[in-house]
Structure 1
Amino acid sequence: MTDSKMKSQSLQKWFSVLLLIALIVVLGVLSTRFSAAVDWTAGNRNTLTEASQAQLASMDGPIIVRAFVYSGDPLRREVEQDFGRYQRAKPDVELRFVDPSTQPQLVREFNIRQPGQIVLEYDGRRETIPGTTEPMVTTALQRLAVSGEQWVVFLTGHGERSISRAEDSLAMTAYANALRERGLKVQTVNLTETPAIPDNTSVLVLASPERAYLPGEIELVRDYVAGGGNLLWLADPDHPTGLAEVAAELGVTWLDGYAIFPNYQVIGTGHPGFFAATQYPSNPVTQGFDQITLFPLVRAMAVDPVNDWAMQPLLVASDAAWLETGDITSGTVALDDDDIPGPLLIGATLTRDVEVEGKNITQRVALIGDADFLSDLHLTELGNQGFGLNLAQWLALRDAQLNIQVPAAPDTEIVISPWGGKALVVGFVIVLPLLLLLVGVGRWFLRRRR
């Protein structure tokens, strides 16, 4: 091989090495300026959900995030990653780190109790949260998004559903807590003890009273509705609804009886009196809502709007259903001449324009022939909680908050049966060490034979 050829090959090798180094440098520079991520988790739980993106889109203006984390703490990296998802969806989300050891004045100003707390600030309002999970952050943003206090008032004293008895599975304790998490204030009022509905009531809830209201209490509820107040009326079929004067003002007639759904075995509800809503009529409460909801033992209603009310169906049972007016405890039911055939109106909304204190507002009422679906026993089934939250948000005139509910990730836990756990223990503690021992003995034996 001539010297010229050797020099040419040497130059080619050095040129290839230089090209490789240049390529590595370019890739390194690009990696600092651009990034790409692929989410392989079930349910894409490392990607910002549509609910969180919708929440961010509803908030005009910057959001400031202050993370009170010590310098050098690995938690800072986690906070950057978690809020990086929010920054990609809304560029004016600003993340600021505060070292509690060097800025004690900010610790006092923001009332920080322990390192790692996060303070979200929007439009002059603040929320402090202990972590950075998406449900925690997005629900805090929901609370920040609405200015002022909005009260959801539950009437009590007549056998209505409780919102404070955690041991009662038919209570609405979890529902009340979910409302609080979304920034709504919740309280109860017994009109016998306090004969007045608070002036700051945004939504009044009649949670299926079991006993009749006194005439003075009925008049208070009538005055509230006549004055433009928003109302959520839940009426189980087990008890008379009462408040006939209020129903007349709304143009609603509650029908006595239990709705029966003969196709319950096909749907899989397990009971002919359970109503599974899989489709919804056009209604602002369920616009964009695509979850199935389950209503145990429902009654129907008839609405003939009066007093300028406009009605929109919310829950409608199919033609196959009927309202059983007879006894359902016998075990067998059938459609007869005394029953009311389907389709049945199970839920409806009413709206009208009214003038309150010189302002034109839209008054809203929601009527549901069931209260069990919001009880602690059934709230977490299918889309019940989302539907119940939509009702309250719509009645409180918080339309931008509809359908914003971050779903729980389906792959955060590994469930192993007792036998599976024992198999893992045997495999890793006994079988795997024995296999390694056998491999070692086998290699030693083969070497001995050589």
Structure 2
Amino acid sequence: MFLEGHGERSPLGQANFDLGQFGQELKRKGVNLALLNLAKTPDIPANTTALVIAGPRANLLPGEVGLIQDYVKKGGNLLWLADPGDQHGLQALAEQLNLTFLPGTVVDASTQLFGIDDPTFALVAEYVHHPITADFKELTLFPVAAALQSGKDADFHATAVLRTLARSWTEIGPLKGDIRFNADSGEKEGPLTIGYAWCATCRRPPPRLRKARPNKPNPANNAFSCWATATSCPTPTWATAATSTWA
């Protein structure tokens, strides 16, 4: 179930902003897609397998956010795909998950090794042993990602499922010209977490990393940045919501 009505990325659209390729792949795998406008249908259907919030560009109403929070609290599965910057009314949801979005956009000098001239692509080369990343075997790229931090919470157990390399950082300044890491401006150096998974009740030992195969990296989708997903145990509750110089 994809939330709509706030300029979200559409699983049925074909624009670069949209998630049409992602939607087609879900259909190919037999997943039924539906759109949900909470202003028209002020309830999340009980048969919703997962709710997807894909980068809204307009503020959600407090009542809509409250419905989503209740859905998560009751164990509903949530996939939150978030862009850097304004979270458009979803701050209360982030607080519920004890999630913080760091200022700036993740840039990664490592991507120059693959001939990528755009500094806003973040590279992930290692994956934890987790259901979300179980079949991830190659390098992946995440364009225009935000760095995330998750605090300890009695209600949710967080696992960092997507981590950038050491030569990445959160760029707060303009994304053009000579870009350099500047700790004095509050920028954070990598590795950085751009994806978390939250489990509502389970407690697990720290995950082990496994390296991806050094093939050519594949973009994660049409154009989404960092992502957040949320589900509940025994099927874990995921919310996954993405070095010094770029010349």
Q: TM-score range by the shorter chain?
A: 0.7 to 0.9
- Given candidates 194, 200, 204, the residue that maps to 1:346 is 194
1:382 maps to 2:214: no
Distance apart, 1:253 and its partner CA: 0.7
Q: Whose relative contact order is higher, 1 or 2, with alpha carbons under 8 Å and at least 6 apart?
A: 2
Distance 1:324 1:241 in 2: 21
Q: Helix, strand or coil for the counterpart of 1:280? A: strand
Structure-1 residue corresponding to 2:120:
273
1:119 maps to none
Partner of 1:333 in structure 2?
Answer: 179
Letter in 1 for 2:46: D
| Cα RMSD for the two superposed structures | 2.7
Q: CA deviation at 1:201?
A: 0.8
Amino acid at match of 1:346: I
Whole-angstrom CA distance in 2 between matches of 1:351 and 1:396: 5
Secondary structure at 1:263 match in 2: helix
Report what 1:256 is aligned to. Answer: 103
Distance 2:91 2:33 in 1: 26
Contact 1:250/1:305 (8 A) holds in 2: no
1:342 deviation in Å?
1.8
2:37 aligned with 1:201, yes or no?
A: no
Between Structure 1 and Structure 2, whose CA radius of gyration is higher? Answer: 1
CA 1:246–1:265: 2 relative to 1, 3 Å: same
Residue 383 of structure 1 deviates from its aligned partner by: 6.8
Indicate the residue corresponding to 1:228 in structure 2: 75
What is the CA-CA distance between 1:210 and the residue it aligns to? 1.2
Per-residue deviation at 1:396? 9.9
Residue 110 of structure 2 contacts residue 165 of structure 2 at CA under 8 Å; is this kept in 1? no
Aligned position for 2:65: 218
* Aligned position for 1:179: 26
Shift in Å, 1:237? 1.6
CA contact (8 A) 1:259 1:323 kept: yes
Is 1:190 the counterpart of 2:29? The answer is no
**C-alpha distance in 1 between matches for 2:219 and 2:175:** 27
CA contact (8 A) 1:249 1:306 kept: no
Unaligned runs of 5+ in 2: 203-216, 236-247
Indicate whether 1:154 and 2:2 are aligned. yes
The CA deviation at 1:288 is 4.4
Report the alpha carbon displacement of residue 333 of structure 1 after superposing the two structures with TM: 1.7
Rounded to whole Å, the distance in 1 between the matches of 2:43 and 2:95 is 21
Counterpart position of 1:142 = none
Contact 1:252 1:305 in 2 (8 A): no
Residues of 2 paired with 1:186 and 1:175: CA distance? Answer: 11
Q: CA deviation at 1:260?
A: 1.4
- The alpha-carbon deviation at position 219 of structure 1 amounts to 0.6
The separation in 2 between residues aligned to 1:199 and 1:396, in whole angstroms, is: 15
* Residues 157, 200 of structure 2: 8 Å contact kept: yes
Whether the 8 Å contact between 2:84 and 2:145 is mirrored in structure 1 is yes
Matches within 5 A, 1:379-418: 382=218, 384=220
Structure 1: runs of 5+ lacking an equivalent: 1-152, 354-361, 363-380, 400-450
Question: Partner residue of 2:16?
Answer: 169
How many residues matched?
Answer: 214
Secondary structure of the 1:186 match is coil
Tell me if the contact between 2:102 and 2:149 (Cα under 8 Å) persists in the aligned partners.
Answer: yes
Distance 1:280 1:173 in 2: 25
- Give 1:204 deviation, angstroms: 0.6
Given that residues 258 and 297 in structure 1 are in contact (C-alpha distance below 8 angstroms), is that contact kept between their aligned partners in structure 2?
yes
Aligned 1:94-133 pairs, distance under 5 A: none
State the TM-score, normalizing by the size of structure 1: 0.44
Distance across 2 between alignment mates of 1:157 and 1:173: 17
Q: Partners in 1 of 2:34 and 2:158 — Cα distance?
A: 28
Query: For residues 258 and 238 of structure 1, what CA distance do their matches in structure 2 show?
Result: 8
Using a 3 Å threshold, how does the CA distance of structure 1 residues 349 and 170 change in structure 2: closer, same or farther? same
Q: Matches of 1:251 and 1:396 in 2, distance apart? A: 16
- Offset at residue 259 of structure 1 (A): 0.7
Q: How does 1:58-137 map to 2 (within 5 A)?
A: none
Native 8 Å contact 1:281 1:314 kept in 2: yes
Which amino acid letter does the alignment assign opposite residue 304 of structure 1?
G
Contact 1:251 1:304 in 2 (8 A): yes
Q: 1:396 to 1:308 in 2, by over 3 A?
A: closer
Secondary structure of the 2:126 match is coil
TM-score after normalising by structure 2 = 0.77
Cα distance, 1:269 vs structure 2:
2.8
- Please, which of 135, 138, 147 is the counterpart of residue 291 of structure 1? 138
Contact 1:202 1:396 in 2 (8 A): no
Q: Deviations over 1:153-189 (max 9, x none)?
A: 11011111012233x2221122112212212211011
Deviation at 1:292, TM superposition (A): 1.8
What is the deviation of 1:348? Answer: 1.2
Percent identical: 34
What is the CA-CA distance between 1:238 and the residue it aligns to?
Answer: 5.4
Tell me the amino acid that sits aligned with residue 382 of structure 1.
N
Higher helix proportion (structure 1 or 2)? 1
In 2, the alpha carbon distance for the partners of 1:270 and 1:396 equals 39
